[in-house]
Amino acid sequence: MSKTFYLTTAIDYVNGHPHLGHAYEKVITDAICRVQQSFGRDTFFLTGLDEHGQKVQKAAVEQGKQPQAYCDELAESWQRFADVLGLCNQDFVRTTQERHQNVVRSILNKLHLEDHFYKANYEGYYSAKQETFLTEKDRQEDGNFPEIYGEVVRLSEDNYYFKLGRHQQWLIDFIESNPDFVTPSNRRNEVLGFLKNNTLEDLCISRPKSRLNWGIPLPFDDDYVTYVWFDALTNYITVPASLGDPALPGIGSESQESMSLWPADMHVIGKDILKFHAVYWPIMLKAAGLPLPKQICVHGWWQKDGQKMSKTTGNVVDPMAVIESWGLDAFRYYLLRELDIGPDGNWTDEGFQVRYAADLANGIGNLVNRSLSMLNRYRDGKIPPRCCELESEVHAVSQEVIELAANHKLQSALKRIWDLIARINRYIDQTAPFKLAKDPEQAERLGEILYTLAESCRIIAVLLHPFLLHTFSRIYGQLALNDRPDRFSNALWGELNPGHTIDKPEALFPRRDLPAQA
Ligand code: MSP
């Protein structure tokens, strides 16, 4: 059984509202997934929701709802969000699902039996907002705890601890000898720096039910629920385990199906949750004797107008509203083209609109419109005999784009596609088919140019397919081609057959008036 390319996003806290950051993570993961599909690989893309913990319990209580009913309502809108983004995810995991709770119990039991946990008393500081214990080291210079922790209280309680510390050197060695485990490399260095300069403390994996009951009860002590991050990280093996993955024997259900997903090929996460994924998660798996994911791919954070997005100040980008008014492809294009995977990005409405006008309406929109209109006007839409004038140039760019995409360099791949679009737009200006059309002696030359343009548009559609979900099929539709160009191998020059009749062009990205500058 060959292994399926398995990739995941973080699971979002159910009590928030989908914003630009959530959309970005999902869109890059979706594009990476479609690139893999384009090479003919089987893929499995998982996203989902993190539903337990204090924050959710508190939010439900504030609305006078039972936590489960509260989660069920919100889960619907998150699932709709995934659909609106056009994601090709095969499953949607929720940490309140029975299949997930089974897997968490199974891992907890295994680690408990193998003596990876101990019970001890803790006396110190606790942040309910972040559901985490704090030490003096966490205080700022002014003596206060950072704002992100909200109210910090003193606490004394018994809890279960996971012996993380004993795996510290193993993890350093592992990350050093697997340079691609955490990418980009600055994030890898961040993890190594943390591990080399700090003593890893054991991880508290329980919360007493007397304080928090919205969680998965510990299978070996009913007075406690599982710490929300231990619960959440386990989601990545929930679906494989419940599908009977041979790499996860004895975990989850005894499914008759058998799908080979684990280890994940890639976990896509934001920079703020690096420690959980690059320190706690590998150690949890190692302790449980399970294979480690192949790669943790860490993206940066979006700001809006140079500032942190925050619901309280109203400084947010609502992805649903942008998609509603500008279309999914314009939104996906901006996210993927504007920000490489790694650095932080900044959304401005003006930046978005400028890119829409320049790259989409005037760039690809204009190219396809001009090319197909001329073919209709001068040849009744009939493809002229093949011409290879730009074959090697277009082929070279296609190969580069494919290589970049295969290496998850999504932004660079799009840049190269738009270089090609600009090149072909220039080719129209240089060869001036609209002038040649007036001279019957130039009919053959005109035919060559029209073939070159139509075939270039087709290849550009193929190259775009993992990124812009409607544009590629709309270009194919306008070329009156029935097949779905969802393989990069379709980007070979000459597939467009002479004599074939195309359809009428329609604006791919209608021009919009930009708002007047203040
Ligand atoms: N529930 C945890 C993740 C558990 S994974 C086992 C969580 N949820 S979250 O809703 O706060 O964040 C989900 C993802 O969105 C994270 O990867 C986070 O980095 C990402 N983003 C949240 N805000 C973001 C931006 N402003 N910009 C880009 N990504 C951001 O953390």
Does 271 lie in the same domain as 412? no
pTM attached to this predicted model: 0.96
Question: Which of 46, 50, 54, 280 maximizes ligand 1 atoms within 8 Å of its Cβ, making it the mutation to test the pocket?
Answer: 50
Q: Do 358 and 269 have their domain in common? A: no
pLDDT in tens, 118-171: 999 988 899 988 888 898 889 999 999 999 899 999 999 999 999 999 999 999
User: How large is the average pLDDT for residues 476-480?
Assistant: 98
Query: 126 and 26 in one domain?
Result: yes
CATH number (domain holding residue 73): 3.40.50.620
Domain closes at, from 239, 271, 299: 299
Same domain? For 229 and 125 the reply is yes
**What is the Cα–Cα distance from 375 to 19, expressed in whole angstroms?**
43
How many angstroms is it from 42 CA to the middle of ligand 1?
A: 27
DSSP state of 42: -
What's the pLDDT at 516? 55
Which of 264, 299, 334 delimits the end of a domain?
A: 299
Distance 176 CA to ligand 1 centre (A): 26
Burial 115-151 (b: 16+ CB within 10 A, else e): ebbeeeeeeebbbbebbebbeeeeeeeeeebeeebee
Q: What share of the chain is helix, strand, coil (3-state, %, to 5)?
A: 50, 15, 35
Whether 222 is covered by a domain: the verdict is yes
246 Cα: distance to centroid of ligand 1 (angstroms): 30
Average pLDDT over every residue of 345-368: 97
Half-sphere exposure of 292 (CA within 13 A, CB side): 21
246 in the same domain as 385: no
d(CA 203, CA 161): 5
Give the separation between CA 411 and CA 400, rounded to whole angstroms.
Answer: 13
Quick one: average pLDDT of 319-331? 97
289 backbone φψ class: left, alpha, beta (φ>0; ψ -120 to 50):
left
The pLDDT tens digits for 245-261 are 999 988 876 666 678 99
Q: Confirm if 450 and 501 have CB atoms less than 8 A apart.
A: no
Return the ligand 1 atom nearest residue 345 CA: 27
Does residue 291 sit in the same domain as residue 389? no
Say which residue, 254 or 230, is predicted with more confidence: 230
Best residue among 95, 301, 309 to mutate for probing ligand 1, ranked by most atoms within 8 Å of CB: 301
Report percent pLDDT > 90 for the chain: 89
Ligand 1 residue neighbourhood (C-beta within 6 Å):
10-13, 16, 21-22, 24-25, 50, 232-233, 235, 269-270, 272-273, 301-302, 309
Residue nearest to atom 6 of ligand 1 (CA): 233
8 CA distance to ligand 1 middle (Å): 13
Domain termination site, one of 299, 329, 363: 299
Nearest atom in ligand 1 to 50's CA: 1
Residue 515 lies in a domain: no
Residues 6+ apart with CB under 8 A from 203: 161, 162, 164, 227, 230, 280
Residue 165 lies in a domain: yes
Q: Is residue 324 part of a domain?
A: no
Dist CA 221 CA 61 (whole Å)? 25
Number of domains observed in the structure of the chain:
2
Length of the chain equals 518
My answer on whether 362 and 289 are in the same domain is no
Indicate the top mutation candidate among 17, 22, 239 to test ligand 1's pocket, ranked by most ligand atoms within 8 A of CB.
22
Question: In this predicted structure, what is the pLDDT of residue 518?
Answer: 43
Residue 503 placed within a domain: no
Q: Per-residue confidence at 514, pLDDT binned at 50, 70, 90?
A: low
The predicted pLDDT at position 185 comes to: 97
From 209, 15, 22, select the one nearest 96 (Cα to Cα): 15
> Is 332 within the bounds of a domain?
no
Are 50 and 179 in the same domain?
A: yes
Q: What is the DSSP string of 160-214?
A: EEE--GGGHHHHHHHHHH-TTSEESHHHHHHHHHHHHHSPPPPEE-EEETTT--S
Do residue 243 and residue 392 come from a single domain?
no
Residues 416 and 269 in one domain: no
- Contacts within 8 Å (CB) and 24+ apart, 220-227: 220/108, 220/109, 220/112, 221/160, 224/159, 224/160, 225/52, 226/52, 226/104, 226/108, 227/131, 227/203
- Mark whether 268 and 367 lie in a shared domain: no
Which residue's CA is minimally distant from atom 22 of ligand 1?
A: 21
Q: How do beta strands 91-94 and 43-50 pair?
A: parallel
Q: What is the pLDDT of residue 181?
A: 98
Range of the domain at 53: 5-299
Q: Residue 454: give its domain's CATH number.
A: 1.10.730.10
CA 310 to ligand 1 center in whole angstroms: 13
Sheet with 203-204, strands from edge to edge, namely 132-134, 117-127, 152-162, 203-204
Q: How far is the CA of 469 from the centre of ligand 1 (A)?
A: 24
Domain for residue 293, yes or no?
Answer: yes
Summarised one tens digit per residue, pLDDT across range 394-448 is 999 999 999 999 999 999 999 999 999 999 999 999 999 999 999 999 999 999 9
Which amino acid, one-letter code, is at 31? A
505 is a domain residue: no
Q: Which of 9, 13, 14, 309 to mutate to test the pocket of ligand 1 (most atoms within 8 A of CB)?
A: 13
Check whether residue 356 and residue 234 sit in a common domain: no
